[in-house]
């Protein structure tokens, strides 16, 4: 006789799927099929399994997963870059040993590269060593390596203050503070110390074309935008500057392959592909708050859609001061006629920086589940009043649709400007770097599923209400006129 399925095991599996795979049908069906093995004969079970497979194969969920699967395998360098010879990566230099720099150095070390980590002084170099040591300790505790091997790896990495005695050639990555003046000093020092190396900047937002102008040979600079934690996150935006040589770009792609990263080549603009889209969806969310949505509602809508974490919980985790610094950098160029919410600026000024300060959008107490910060409501109400807005409740569908339209329209702008080369590349960046649910395929795959004509009509309504914020990307008008979708562009 066949053993009966343990009800508690089935219930636990369903609970896990409901929590961690929200919105997905296939995992729930898999549990049902496994459960059938206990009380169904083999032939009947096979028949039901086949029927389930055929049904799921034709779902949007399956199509989305296939799209991402093939998009990942099509993320290759263009022919001219593929033909170029990259620099050797056997010896590499990382400048800056903060969280990002230490993660990059750790990943390079794990790939077998001999790494030198450069800091501004001995104290900072010691702190960088401690961060790398912490990453190795974590790997040992998880059983990923032995204590002896970790100790040997730490000993093999050089930590030094200043740029003396750096071996020329290969690759040097600056991972210094996100500040143009700091990066200028670092790149000037590398330009002198390593005149034959490919130089890379890990900037998240800043203009690498301007940085290239500081070098004797601008062609050797490339952007390598890692995502935190750098030794774990798979995505790597390879930023092609106006002067970036094929050799420099080939070195970036070779690095991605060596580290097991997913490379996506992007052009130069503020935030490149991923962070520019993140800025736009944050703006849309801020406007939703002023109009009447609640930040807890926005987070709930996003997790119900399939995100692991909502926008505001994510901001609390990363720290509100990171985006605040970027907003201050952009302040002089901000259009005074464009609606701007000061809520987050006021939270930061009051020291509510998120999880690390104990309070942000949510309040964090030791051992307790985060709860919504009651102080936020008054800030939102005051800001809405300043803009002359009477807040009204919004339904979940309207909230989700607005967030998705913001992503889709911004992505269309990036494609039209040539910052992103393929619609599939945009989808990869959002799926692998920003938590867009893989089973939804990415924002542009999702847009094609909705239909470009529907997207166009919905954007027209939003544009009529706020033409400055919701100016429609010309590419969407073109696609509607041509009767094509975003992914049809990739097939050209």
Q: Which of 7, 36, 67 is nearest to 424 (CA)?
A: 67
Q: Does domain 272-492 have CATH number 3.40.50.720?
A: no
- Mean pLDDT of all residues belonging to the chain: 96
| Rounded Cα–Cα distance for residues 437 and 147 (Å) | 36
How many helices (H) and strands (E) would you count in the chain? 23, 10
- Chain-centroid distance, C-alpha 175: 17
* DSSP assignment letter at 354: B
Q: Give 368's pLDDT tier (boundaries 50, 70, 90).
A: confident
| pLDDT tens-digit series, residues 42-85 | 999 999 999 999 999 999 999 999 999 999 999 999 999 999 99
240: confidence class by pLDDT, cuts 50, 70, 90: very high
Check residue 39 and give its pLDDT: 82
Domain range summary for the chain, segments of one domain joined by +: 7-58, 79-266, 272-492
pLDDT of 351 > 90? The answer is yes
CA-based nearest residue to 72, from 82, 61, 84, 64: 64
Predicted pLDDT of residue 267 = 98
CA distance 239 to 235: 13
d(CA 34, CA 30): 6
Tell me how far apart the 2 most distant CA atoms of the chain are, in Å. 78
Phi, psi of 372 (to 5 degrees): -55, 140
Q: Cα–chain-centroid distance for residue 125?
A: 28
Q: What pLDDT sits at residue 289?
A: 98
Q: What is the pLDDT of residues 87-132, one digit of tens each?
A: 999 999 999 999 999 999 999 999 999 999 999 999 999 999 999 9
Residue 1 has pLDDT above 70, yes or no: no
Position 398 pLDDT exceeds 80: yes
Residue 37: predicted pLDDT: 85
Span 257-276, mean pLDDT?
Answer: 98
* Per-residue pLDDT, 4: 65
- Single out the residue of 104, 121, 113 nearest to residue 175, CA to CA: 104
Q: What is the pLDDT of residue 492?
A: 67
Confidence at residue 175, expressed as pLDDT on a 0 to 100 scale: 97
pLDDT of residue 2: 63
* pLDDT tens sequence across 430-456: 999 999 999 999 999 999 999 999 999
Percentage of the chain exceeding pLDDT 90: 92
User: Which of 281, 223, 270 lies closest to 435, judged by CA?
Assistant: 281
Quote the CATH superfamily of domain 79-266.
NAD(P)-binding Rossmann-like Domain (3.40.50.720)
pLDDT at 22 over 80: yes
Question: Which contacts (CB < 8 Å, 24+ apart) does range 343-346 have?
Answer: 343/286, 343/289, 343/376, 343/379, 343/380, 343/383, 344/286, 344/315, 344/320, 346/379
Predicted confidence (pLDDT) at residue 242 exceeds the cutoff of 90:
yes
């Amino acid at each position: 006789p066949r053993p009966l399925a343990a009800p508690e095991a089935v219930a636990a599996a369903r609970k896990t799927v409901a929590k961690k795979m929200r919105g997905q049908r296939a995992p729930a069906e898999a549990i049902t099929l496994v459960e059938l093995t206990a009380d169904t004969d083999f032939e009947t079970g096979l028949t039901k399994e086949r029927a389930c497979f055929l049904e799921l194969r034709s779902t949007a969920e399956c199509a989305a997963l296939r799209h991402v699967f093939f998009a990942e395998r099509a993320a290759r360098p263009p022919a001219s870059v593929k033909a170029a010879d990259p620099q050797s990566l056997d010896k590499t230099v990382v400048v800056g040993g903060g969280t990002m720099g230490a993660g990059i150095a750790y990943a390079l070390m794990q790939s077998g590269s001999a790494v030198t980590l450069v800091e501004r002084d001995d104290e900072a170099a010691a702190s960088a060593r401690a961060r790398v040591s912490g990453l190795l300790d974590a790997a040992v505790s998880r059983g990923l390596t032995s204590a002896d091997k970790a100790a040997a790896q730490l000993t093999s990495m050089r930590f030094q203050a200043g740029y003396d005695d750096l071996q020329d050639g290969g690759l040097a990555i600056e991972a210094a503070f996100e500040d143009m003046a700091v990066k200028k000093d670092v790149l000037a020092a590398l330009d002198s110390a390593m005149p034959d190396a490919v130089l890379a900047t890990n900037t998240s937002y800043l203009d690498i074309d301007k940085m290239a102008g500081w070098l004797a040979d601008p062609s050797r600079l490339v952007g390598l935008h890692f995502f935190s934690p750098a030794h774990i996150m798979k995505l790597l935006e390879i930023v092609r500057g106006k002067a970036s040589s094929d050799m420099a770009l080939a070195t970036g792609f070779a690095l991605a392959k060596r580290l097991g990263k997913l490379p996506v080549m992007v052009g130069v603009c503020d935030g490149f592909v991923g962070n520019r889209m993140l800025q736009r969806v944050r703006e849309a969310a801020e406007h939703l708050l002023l109009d009447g949505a609640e930040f807890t509602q926005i987070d709930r809508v996003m997790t119900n859609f399939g995100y692991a974490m909502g926008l505001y919980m994510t901001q609390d985790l990363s720290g509100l001061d990171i985006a605040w610094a970027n907003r201050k950098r952009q302040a002089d160029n901000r259009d005074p006629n464009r609606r701007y919410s000061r809520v987050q600026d006021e939270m930061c000024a009051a020291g509510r920086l998120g999880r690390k300060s104990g309070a942000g959008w949510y309040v964090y107490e030791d051992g307790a589940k985060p709860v919504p910060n009651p102080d936020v409501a008054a800030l939102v109400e005051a800001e809405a009043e300043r803009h002359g807005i009477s807040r009204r409740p919004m339904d979940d569908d309207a909230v989700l649709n607005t967030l998705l339209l913001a992503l889709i329209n911004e992505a269309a702008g990036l494609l039209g400007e040539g910052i992103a080369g393929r619609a599939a590349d945009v989808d990869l960046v959002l799926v692998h770097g920003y938590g867009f649910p893989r089973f939804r395929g990415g924002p542009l795959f999702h847009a094609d599923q909705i239909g470009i004509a529907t997207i166009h009509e919905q954007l027209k309504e939003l544009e009529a209400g706020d033409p400055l914020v919701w100016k429609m990307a010309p590419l969407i008008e073109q696609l509607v006129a041509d009767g094509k979708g975003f992914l049809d562009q990739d097939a050209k």
